[in-house]
Chains A and B, each alone.
Chain A
Amino acid sequence: MDKKKYERPVILKQQSGLMNKFGSATSTQPMTDIEGVPVAELAAAYGSPLFVLSEKKMRDTQQQCQRIFRSRYPKVQFAWSYKTNYMNAVCSIFHSEGSWAEVVSEFEFDRARHLGVRGEHIIFNGPAKSAAALEKAVRAHSKIHIDHFDELYELIEITTSLGLKADVAIRVNVDVGIYPKWDRFGFNYENGEAREALKRIAASKTLRIVGLHMHIGTYIMSTEPFRVAVSKLVALANWLKQQLAIDLDYIDVGGGLPSHNTLKGQYLQADETLPALEQFADAITAPLFELESHGDAMPTLILESGRALVDGAGYLISTVLAVKRLSDGKRAYVIDAGINLLFTSLWYKHKMVPAQPTGVMREQANIYGPLCMNIDCIQEDASVPALKKGDRVVLMNVGAYTMTQWMQFITFRPAIVLITADGSPHVIRKAESLEYVMSLEEIPPSLRSLSA
């Protein structure tokens, strides 16, 4: 006689008075494959934990974004936000979709050049560009977005001494009525600092103002801040035209569009509360039609989206190491991926789904990573089906700010596999080894003979 299918015994206490009247659906469907490649095979071949990226999803999302913005404004240019995910394969995908590079450090600038990105297609942002980095950018004819007056004067010095001209924009920070106000970056609009900076640049002999740049924040959850910010940038552009007779090549509205992740403390699922991308596009593009004539053509709209384009294309395969109970009886799991890999779990409730069929009963459980640190909690009160040691799980929407902000702490950073458009997996970054990690270290001669 065939035995019955086993599911770990579960008892759930029923809570009253805590019903969610919006009734977000909870799916018990496992994710057994990623883009047609079985999760079990991926983990067996490349280890666990394992980051997996989908080329198809990146391209689909980028193309959808392009369609949405280009159907609302005639000239749109995306610039791939390197800091979001600067794996060479990932950057190559976005560049092949026509994106420029948006970099915020010499390290990222060099990566873009290494990939063959033309200098004039690199936007150099950030508050900390070294003199050497600025010189590189000037020589490459990149677009330098000036963050503060010290940088402005340094750039005048560099271009003057090199006898070269530079195409520049200023980053403008604007009050859009949201918290936090990102006024630590760029020149302020409301107090007139931005106008002073533009006048100073216009008076220089080596800098040419080609654009205005803003970036109002990250994971902006409503459209109005974008409308307000772009309106202010358009007012500044019109002032430039009237007062300094300067025509702009572009308006760069930065990034900040949200992904499908739900924030900690957010009651409803992100997909149920966030505006659609089309609504963000409406808010961003509508004020641009208030621009006064800028030469023969409208300025290009530049978008530096990163999170919204790549987060959904990233998956993290992980394995259940232990099933525990906390002192109050609450279920807890230890999995082999922690905040060393998912820094983003400090603010996101990453969706976690099993990679094999499970029972339908779900328990509230804390999901802990493998680090021997109390802070290593991927999620508290996650609703998960009964899992057992050795089960695989897939954490969703982990393509942004994970592979660039991960930590090498007490263990190695795992491999990253890209499922290419033809459905085949390729390692795009190898798992680290002890030799790799220790190759940067030196032991002083006086310590070499010591042994435990």
Chain B
Amino acid sequence: MSSTQISTSLAVSENGFLFLPTTGETFTVNETGRFILRRLQEGREQQEIISSLIDEFDVEPVDAQRDVLDFIGQLRQYHLTDTQ
């Protein structure tokens, strides 16, 4: 699986508020979204993130995999990532 690089200028607050200074856009994420986003910022691989999500939350592996890919797709849609 590829790793996903989050835009370096994206600011993420502790309560899930996102600010992209280059465009002025703001976003909100829920707890699981914040969990994934943090790990993407740390440069973790997608599979590693899926595993840690399964460890931390009460979620089936198949749901975790689908949801992480969907969430990254949404980050891409909002131009918050650069896929390597």
Contacts and interface: CB of A to CB of B under 8 A. Distances in A.
Contacts of B59: 6
A8 interface: yes
B79 to A, nearest CB: 10
A388 B59 CA distance: 12
Nearest to A4: B57
A329 interface: yes
B28 A3 contact: no
A8 B27 contact: no
A203 interface: no
Interface string B51-84: 0000111110001000110110111011000000
Contact of A388 (B25, B31, B58, B63): B63
Interface string B14-32: 0000100000011111111
A14 B33 CA distance: 15
Interface residues of B, number: 27
A325 B57 contact: no
Contacts of A192: none
A317 B68 CA distance: 29
Contacts, number: 71
Contact of B29 (A3, A11, A325): A11
Given A9-B71, A11-B74, A361 B30 contact: yes
A175 B2 CA distance: 68
A388 B31 CA distance: 17
Contact of B58 (A4, A8, A14): A4
Interface in A308-365: 323, 325, 328-329, 359, 361
Given A11-B27, A388-B63, A6 B57 contact: yes
A44 interface: no
B74 A329 contact: yes
Given A329-B74, A361-B28, A11 B57 contact: no
B57 A14 contact: no
A118 B33 CA distance: 64
A328 B77 CA distance: 7
A10 interface: yes
B58 A10 contact: no
Q: Which of A8, A11, A323, A361 has the most CB of B within 10 A?
A: A11
A46 B68 CA distance: 34
A342 B71 CA distance: 31
B77 A12 contact: no
Nearest to B68: A9
A110 B76 CA distance: 61
A13 interface: yes
What range describes how many residues of A lie at the interface?
Answer: 20 to 34
Q: Which of B25, B32, B71, B78 has the most CB of A within 10 A?
A: B32
B60 to A, nearest CB: 9
Contact of A329 (B29, B32, B36, B77): B77
A10 B56 contact: no
A13 B27 CA distance: 4
Interface string B29-45: 11111011000000000
Contacts of B36: 9
B58 A3 contact: yes
B27 A4 contact: no
Nearest to A359: B30
A12 B32 contact: no
A3 B78 contact: no
A14 B19 CA distance: 10
A388 B30 CA distance: 16
A7 interface: yes
A329 B73 CA distance: 8
A395 B67 CA distance: 25
Nearest to A385: B30
A8 B78 contact: no
Contact of A3 (B25, B30, B57, B71): B57
Interface in A13-63: 13-14
Given A325-B73, A329-B74, A388-B63, A9 B29 contact: yes
24 contacts: A3-B55, A3-B57, A3-B58, A4-B57, A5-B57, A6-B59, A7-B32, A8-B63, A8-B67, A9-B67, A9-B70, A9-B71, A10-B32, A11-B71, A11-B74, A11-B78, A12-B28, A12-B29, A14-B28, A325-B73, A325-B74, A325-B77, A329-B73, A329-B78
Interface of B: 18, 25-33, 35-36, 55-59, 63, 67-68, 70-71, 73-75, 77-78
Interface of A: 3-14, 323, 325, 328-329, 359, 361, 386, 388
Given A6-B63, A14-B25, A329-B78, 16 more contacts: A3-B57, A5-B57, A8-B67, A8-B70, A9-B33, A9-B36, A9-B71, A10-B30, A11-B18, A11-B78, A13-B78, A14-B27, A323-B70, A325-B74, A329-B74, A361-B28
